[in-house]
Structure 1
Amino acid sequence: MTYLIAVPEMLAAAATDLAGIGSSIDAANIVAAVSTTPLAAAGADEVSAAIAALFGTHAREYQALSAQMSAFHSQFVQALTGGAGAYASAEAANASPIQALLDAINAPSVALTGRALIGDGANATTPGGNGGAGGWLYGNGGAGAAGAPGQAGGNGGAAGLIGNGGTGGLGGAGMTGGTGGNGGQLFGNGGDGGQGGTGRLGNAAQGINSIDPGQGGTGGNSYLFGNGGNGGQGGTGWAGANGVNPTVTATNSSGTNGNSYGGPGNGVTQPPYSGGDGTSGVAGGTNINGGAGGAGGTVYSAQNGPHGGNGGNGASGANGGNGGAGGYAEGTDTSAEAYGGNGGNGGNAVASGGAGGNGGGGGSANAPDFGLAYAGNGGHGGNGATGAAAGDGGNGGAGGNGGNAGQIFGTGGHGGTGGTGGAGGAGASGGPGGAGGAAGDAHGGLSAQGFPDGGNRDSGGDGGQGGAGGDSGNGGNGGVGGNGGNGAKFIGIGGDGGDAGAGGAGGPGATGGAGGAGGHGGNATGGVDLGGDGGTGGNGGAGGNGGNGGHSGPSGGAGGQGGLLGSAGNPGGTAGGGTGGASGSGGAYGAGGAGGAGLLGTGGSNGTNGGDGAQGLNG
């Protein structure tokens, strides 16, 4: 008996292609006819005329034959197109009776058992639902649905007498993948297990615990003839949390300003001739900023030697407090000396990624006529804090075990691959160092210095050190591979064990904080004057270290047992470790402060730039 299989769509496509070929041939014949049918003789002699007549006759005969072939081609294309339409109509006409016949066969079975005799089981649609069973005689099981968070994946539906089991659904967060459905009682393969759900990172502050990833679902079994289903892959470990520097707005109290004495044109004539010192700010903590230092008091004195008060230091805190400004001093006596107060130092940051406080500006001094004036130093900037460290990635889940083959013939299912470890989080950037305070200005009728009396010329405050970048998280380790299913007891090969999961990638290192700029040196004007040197810029913070890549899962799964005639499966191998995170860049250096200017004497030198922070280490 001869069988014919026709695909209407392919017949219609072939007819379209043939029509295009015919059009191309017709166009070529028209072009050839122009140059071949009216062939002129090469000369006036009888031989040339006879040759031209011969070739012209052949050309006309070819054109006549081509016209007949074109007509045949058109008829063939029409017949092919009609055949495609006829097959399509027949297929549509036969579909309805066949479906009606199946409905009639299945109706009693559905009424009695709730399950058809012939037909595939329905795929589950509700979260975590199980796939429907295949028909009693013939049909594949339906696929299980993916589980919602906290819900296992749905199991695949079982086949009937002949058919394959359905695939298990993906597990919800931290839950096991669904089990594959069993193959047919006579012939059929077990369905594959679903992948385990991804792990979920918790939040300790909110009382939410972390959830480990789920194990892959077990593959379905076969009964007599057929292979076991493969185990599902283990769930992926959670990704480590990125380091986040806190945003702190609350600030502790500032220090008290020092007392001031006298005023312009109203210098004091009796002690005290010095302004009061500002007090330090109130220290903060990791959740409150340090208070700023109080400003030094100003003083106007008609007697020799007025001193401006020193500024108070900024307090340490989440972000360091700024140093207080040094007090202004002015001598109203023609031979008075005046000394500006020193600025307070900025506080150091203690919260992750916090900024160091800026140094307070030095106090200026004015001694007119024949006086001597000395500017106060600027305060040093506070140091920035190290950036917040990141969390490690979670370990991958275990692979599911392969299903067992049928009793007579079949191969055991492969064990599922272990889940991949989660990636480590990225560290946060280091905090910037505080800027050094600018020195005060000095004006003296006889002499002026842009720095204190008896001190060196480094009057601009030094910039603070930038904080190091936070270290990044390590990648999680891969999960163990699932065991292979057993082969058929008579003729069968055991399934291979699943490979161990790959380790997760380490997180990238964070950038170090920028160093603070050095303060401007004090300017000096008047008689013989010396400008102060600018402050040294702060060093940039070191870059954070990249996280280490996670290790491969500890082991692959064991191979399944072979049958009487067969061999055991191979054990699973180990995967590669995760890629280490890239190192973080060092923070930029702080610029040195500019030197103070001198009018008749020498100006100060510019401060030295700080160094760039060191590069972090690769994971």
Structure 2
Amino acid sequence: MFGAGGIGGDGGLGGGGDGGAGGAGGAAGLVASSGGSGGAGGFSQGGTGGAGGDGGKGTMLGCGGVGGVGGSSLLGDGGAGGNGGNSGLVLGTGGAGGAGGQAATNNSGPGVGGDGGHGGAAGLLSVGGNGGNPGTGPTLGGAGTAGSSSPLQPVFSAVNTPAEALLGRPLIGNGANAAPGSGQNGAPGGILLGDGGAGGSGGPGHVNGGAGGLAGLMGTGGPGGAGAGVGGSDAAGTGGMGGHGGLIGGNGGVGGAGGAASSGTGGDGGRGGIAGLLGAGGAGGAGGAAVSDTGAGGTGGRGGTAGLLAGLVGAGGGHGGTGGFGHTHGGDGGAGGNASPVSGFGGAGGTGGGNSDSTGTSGTGGTGGNAGLLYGAGGAGGDGGFNDAPGGTGGTGGHGGDAGWVASSGGIGGTGGFGDVGGGGGAGGDATLLGCGGIGGTGGYGTIGDGGDGGHGGAAGDLLGNGGAGGAAGQGATSGAVGGDGGNAVTIGNGGNGGNGDQGVTAGNGTGGHAGLLVGQMGIDGKP
């Protein structure tokens, strides 16, 4: 009945091959809910950037999800943007198409920017989604087409004409997209109904992407523009912030992807937009990659905060963006967005960026967003980034978000990244008053060395609840790793079980958490 569709995952990194495609957003519930945004396409060094995922569809009363931005490429073509999801059948807005990815981000050689995604179709009392902006590069990609309009569009046009003359803004309709390469902000949507326009991607003289436009009373905030990729040792542009969602209904806009860099630092992803009253926070943009031996990846953007009453319709904070790949340092995943101050779940943290230098550092997974004050689960911590260099260590998983006061659990800690030595799992989030601590993350796989240690379980609620179980140690090829300790109970409740250790001479088990002061049992130690 209620509930926002899930956000599609970002596509993976492509080395000499193509970047991975972003996942599709989930469909919305029937009423007052929006489809999930599509995931961003993955970056490619020598091939084509990955295609952005399609946005999830609205169902009856709600907005379609925004298509994911296409992945950029250092030497090849940009990926195509994902298509926006269709509007709800009765009322809503079609999702905007995702922008095409940037081509030839080192500013040399041939390359064609990715095509923008197509906007989602309108319903009866609806507006079709804007087409996605074309990706920039030596040759500009094609712009996406706008979604089909409502059969009542002639009526909308008639009421818009005097409103625009008087107020400078239509009553019903989407804001215009800013031009590609301009770094300008998208225009606001119609006062009553309409999505914000997309921010323009960065370009020469203005490398940062523009912010997405504000939505109207109902509508989705515009996607932030992608930061410009740069050659040489300069830092790439930062992605623009997603626009604010509609005052009553509509999700925050997706943050723009950070630009890719040759020898400098990849740009940070833009922050997801803040939602309206009943909407979910926008997803943070992916951090830009850096492909030289001296470059570091950009940090993923933080997820947007959910609307004040979003928890009542199953909406929560936006997911954090994936950190960018870097040789010296993979970018950290963006933190998940917090839920409404009243109730709802926190967004998941973004995955840390990969690394391919044995002396470098893989990105840490983003911290999960905190739940609403009254009830709701904390967001899961993001997984740590991989390290594929000889002797390299995977990144640490992110910490789970903290829970609401009543009948809620802390978020699960992120899994450690794989490497010759696995990264440690993230700690589970803590409960607050009545609830259980989050489970600690599993340690990362160690290909020729130790696996990563498991994350510690989160603490139970102060009055009632069990501590979270410690995460299992990651599998390794040598001496083994230690399981995480179980979380402690406080007043009434059981301690969490300790995580199992890996097999090996020095492997160790996690210790069970303490029992509650009044009633409860000690957690069971993990097995070595």
- The TM-score, its normalising length taken from structure 1, stands at 0.33
Whichever of the two has the greater Rg, that structure is: 1
Where relative contact order (Cα < 8 A, 6+ residues apart) is larger, the structure is 1
Compute the TM-score of the two structures, normalised by the length of structure 2.
Answer: 0.38
Relative to its length, the structure with more helix (as a share) is: 1
